Amino acid sequence: MPAVEAGFEGIARLACPDRNAPNFEYFHTKVYYDRRQRGARVAAQKVANLFGDAELQRLPASLRSKAQGAMLTVVVGSTFHGTIAPAPVDKTPKKEPAYVRNDPAQSASLLRSVRRKVDFRLMVPKIVERSSYIDRELPIRVYSISKGEKAVRLTFLANNELSAYWGIEETSWNDAPILDQPNFKHRIKGREFYFYYNGAHLHMVVLKTRKASYWVVNTLDDHLSNETMIEIAKGLKPLSR
């Protein structure tokens, strides 16, 4: 079975007779990657997805000379019928300026009213999403998030839409299961922030300290932009004593 000829640089072109696969017994298409090259496995997985039933494997010694240093090598199997799936549509949100305003007053007084109910330092969100105001019905609540661990929850409403509730959770429970697997960790101006994504959208940004964690939680449909979420988290400042 002749190997498929690649259409872009970095994948071995094995269409010539002397570059055929070593045998004709390939049932499924194979996408081989050179593990010595950075990013090869990730790239190979994306190419394999285009074939549907392709199998991903390290480049074997028998094909190394034929690959001629390429990152990927594709050998089509007998199940290949001449077409591949279209490349997935890029759904990454476009970068845009944060949609925020400076407004610590609406939540600072609420936090002062409950600070004696918890044993950790509260943070004031000095930056909020520009269209948001504190919820009128339940602006703040203090509750037990786990045995022996208290939490304070601030609730905001964006654009006055019922589907656009977002919030800030402040708790001493640093080992909460929801915090187990952040996608990224960033250190910004000496503080540690953990980013949790829902697909391409930031669903939660968490500021962690030794005694507490402070969660900026997006709406159910991730209405707040990634840039807005980050600016709100960066704007968390200790409540004055």
Assess whether 234 and 119 both reside in one domain: yes
Q: Is residue 93 part of a domain?
A: no
Mean pLDDT of the 5-22 span: 50
13 has a pLDDT exceeding 60: no
CA distances to 2, 61, 75, 94, 114 from 24, rounded to whole Å, are 8, 18, 10, 46, 73
pTM: 0.64
Q: Which tokens is 215 given?
A: 């969660």
Q: Are residues 107 and 190 in the same domain?
A: yes
Task: Please indicate, yes or no, whether residues 74 and 107 belong to a single structural domain of this protein.
Answer: no
Kindly give the pairing relationship between strand 133-134 and strand 191-198. unpaired
- Rounded CA separation 73/57 (Å): 10
Domain count, the chain: 2
114/219 same-domain check: yes
Indicate whether 138 belongs to any domain. Answer: yes
Digit-coded pLDDT (tens) for 69-116: 888 888 887 777 666 666 666 566 678 899 999 999 999 999 999 999
Q: 230 and 128, same structural domain?
A: yes
Q: Are residues 132 and 67 in the same domain?
A: no
**Among 88, 114, 141, which residue terminates a domain?**
88
Residues of the domain holding 39: 1-88
Of all helices (H) and strands (E), which one includes residue 145? strand 140-146
Last residue of a domain, one of 44, 62, 88: 88
